[in-house]
Structure 1
Amino acid sequence: MFFGAHLSISKGFTAAVKEALAIGATTFQFFTRNPRGGGAKALDAEDIEKAWQLRQEHGFGPLVAHAPYTINMAAEKEETWAFARQTLAADIVRMGQARIPYIVVHPGSHVGQGAEAGVERIAAALNAILRPDQEVMVLLEGMAGAGSEVGGRFEELRAIIDRLDVPEMVGVCLDTCHLFGAGYDVHDFSAVLTEFDQVVGLTRLKAMHFNDSLQPLASRKDRHALIGQGQIGATALAEVLRHPALASLPVNLETPGELADYQREIAWMRSAVLENDKIK
């Protein structure tokens, strides 16, 4: 298992790898561009190569890119839908150049069209983007189901994948807070993954976001908390980490903390895999 957190690449990939090493991480997640806008920083080939060498030297697992929140592949408005397609397509190319195997994207919000229409729009957008020879896999993120979000139910993720021309280029990233908000009780994570396997297929699970939840089960709210300071609790989250299905995955914190919090939580995550520990 590879433990990490959401870091910035504003100073380059090499600086981000060094920051990850300083907090005890062996992976990390980052935004491909401004999460609230469309601007993307030019890539530096020398920086990418230095970062790759550091990653190899220190036994890093796969890094995970995250597409900006402004992407809405379920949008009915043509301008918004076109922006989503163009931005994701461009980021897939850029992340391939940066040797990043995964890019996480929120499926989108149907904004009143209905979930079925949203699923169709998302699948159509992905079919316009995905190529069988691309180097980067798109990971649909499971959502908490707030408002008109698509992807709060496993069945919606499966419905999108079933409509794809090249489904082999799409996986899933699950988020413990989102699962809990959507009504999947991670206090019995084995049961949650059994259902996921039956509906979507466990082989599609490629990455995890790791958080506690400020809101209760089935709240349909996405409110992340530090580990042990939410409604899920450290004991249940430790059991999540021990599940064998996560053994080779990148597991990234998206908790609302600073680097010192990430360092503490990553140390706890590592120890929790080995022993029944609780965060202090």
Structure 2
Amino acid sequence: MSFMLNIGNHVSSSKGYLAMGKEEISLGGNVFAFFTRNPRGGKAKDINPEDVAAFLKYKEEKQIGRLVAHAPYTLNPCAAKDDLREFAASVMADDLKRLEYTPGNYYNFHPGSHVGQGSEKGIELIAGLLNQVLQPEQTTTVLLETMSGKGTEVGRSFQELKSIIDRTELDSHLGVCLDTCHVYSAGYDIVNDLDGVLAEFDRIIGLDRLKAIHLNDSLTPFNSHKDRHAKIGEGSLGLDAIVRVINHPLLRDLPFILETPNDNDGYRQEIALLRSQYL
């Protein structure tokens, strides 16, 4: 059993790995997420090997847990247009190469939107992209994020994520990141039936695939199929439900990443609050 809550938030990658690690420690966290490049797209910052070496030493000293890198929001692996899918494949392949500088961590991405092609076609295209970019020798685990189901999003159900995994040849490199706001909005009642939701996840996907949690409250109600994050305790999930998530025996050792609408002072307060509620 873990005696420390593995919690952190998204930090800016603009100043490099060591600066990200120091920022998270200053906020009271011991894990963190970062965008591999501008979340709206663009060229990634060049990696400085000296910065990486200094960070890896600092990471060990401060016992920072696994990193949860995040792909840009602009990627759509199941876009209808060839050039958009090619862009997504190019960025993901480059990101996975760059992440090998910090081996053994996670790369989280939104499966995408099928834009009217149908979910089956979307699943086929996403798996096809993964079959293109995943490499046998990589140490990074790629995480499919659970989605809220707005518009034509793929990944609104555990069944859709399982279908992507089943069609991916190197499925040993795949896991899932569960977003508390998204799954609640998608119709999984983690407020009143967390055990039941986890049992369903285990039956369909397998809990061994669950690698990280995006810990967010929701501005919209249950089954609303909206993606509107709220600060912890200020949304439709509520503090009590979120505390049950971080203390659940099947979840408590995972990295929890806050994506709440906060500045650093807000994240510091949320991290302290949740640490105080960790049993």
Please, what TM-score do these two structures have when normalized by structure 1? Answer: 0.96
Q: Which amino acid aligns with 2:82?
A: E
Q: Pick one of 224, 234, 252 that aligns with 2:257.
A: 252
**Cα-Cα RMSD:** 0.9
Aligned to 1:143: 147
4+ long deviations beyond 3 Å: none
The CA deviation at 1:145 is 0.5
The CA deviation at 1:100 is 5.7
Give the Cα–Cα distance (whole angstroms) in 1 for the partners of residues 207 and 168 of structure 2.
18
* Corresponding position: 1:224 with 2:224: no
Aligned to 1:163: 167
* Corresponding position: 1:236 with 2:241: yes
* Corresponding position: 1:131 with 2:131: no
Aligned to 1:22: 26
Q: Unpaired runs of 5+ in structure 2?
A: none
Aligned to 2:66: 62
Q: Which amino acid aligns with 1:94?
A: R
Aligned to 1:277: none
* Percentage identity across paired residues of the two chains: 50
Give the Cα–Cα distance (whole angstroms) in 2 for the partners of residues 219 and 247 of structure 1.
27
Aligned to 1:267: 272
Q: Which amino acid aligns with 2:67?
A: L
Q: Pick one of 188, 191, 201 that aligns with 1:184.
A: 188
Give the Cα–Cα distance (whole angstroms) in 2 for the partners of residues 260 and 47 of structure 1.
26
Mapped contact 1:38–1:87 kept (Cα < 8 A): no
* Corresponding position: 1:195 with 2:196: no
Please, what TM-score do these two structures have when normalized by structure 2? Answer: 0.96
Mapped contact 1:171–1:205 kept (Cα < 8 A): yes
Give the Cα–Cα distance (whole angstroms) in 2 for the partners of residues 96 and 105 of structure 1.
17
Q: Which amino acid aligns with 2:240?
A: T
The CA deviation at 1:220 is 0.3
Aligned to 1:210: 215
Give the Cα–Cα distance (whole angstroms) in 1 for the partners of residues 82 and 42 of structure 2.
17
Aligned to 1:88: 92
Mapped contact 1:213–1:224 kept (Cα < 8 A): yes
Give the Cα–Cα distance (whole angstroms) in 2 for the partners of residues 11 and 134 of structure 1.
25
Count residues with an aligned counterpart. Answer: 274
Give the Cα–Cα distance (whole angstroms) in 2 for the partners of residues 193 and 245 of structure 1.
8
